[in-house]
Homo-oligomer: A and B are copies of this chain.
Amino acid sequence: QDLAKTAGKDAKVVLDNTRVRVIELNMAPGDRTGMHSHGDNIVVFVSGGEAEQTMADGTTKAMSRKPGEVVWSGPVTHDTLNKGKTPVRTLVIELKDNGK
């Protein structure tokens, strides 16, 4: 499932070319991305916050991020909830496969 679709109005594709796609996410408190999958990706936390991620197997994990944090992830399927009391703005930078 594509984050740019599952997150609905919270997601905006700001860059898309042969090597990367960048999605800006603006999540109000209580918003969820919906269950989605990425390949290799980087998340930049423009604002920080508290999140809860539900993985494909139903397990959950809590995360706390500071403004300016940069987080690498390999391929993953998850659903992210903004658990904090403030909006969270992130940039999700999806790396494409370069024809590999």
Residues of A that sit less than 8 Å from B by CB: 14-15, 17, 19-20, 22, 24, 40, 42, 44, 46, 68, 70, 72, 89, 91, 93, 95, 98, 100
Contacts and interface: CB of A to CB of B under 8 A. Distances in A.
Q: Is the interface of A mostly helix, strand, loop or mixed?
A: strand
Contacts of A14: 70
B42 A22 contact: yes
A95 B98 CA distance: 11
Contacts of A100: 98
Contacts of A17: 72
Contact of A44 (B40, B91, B98): B91
A24 B89 CA distance: 18
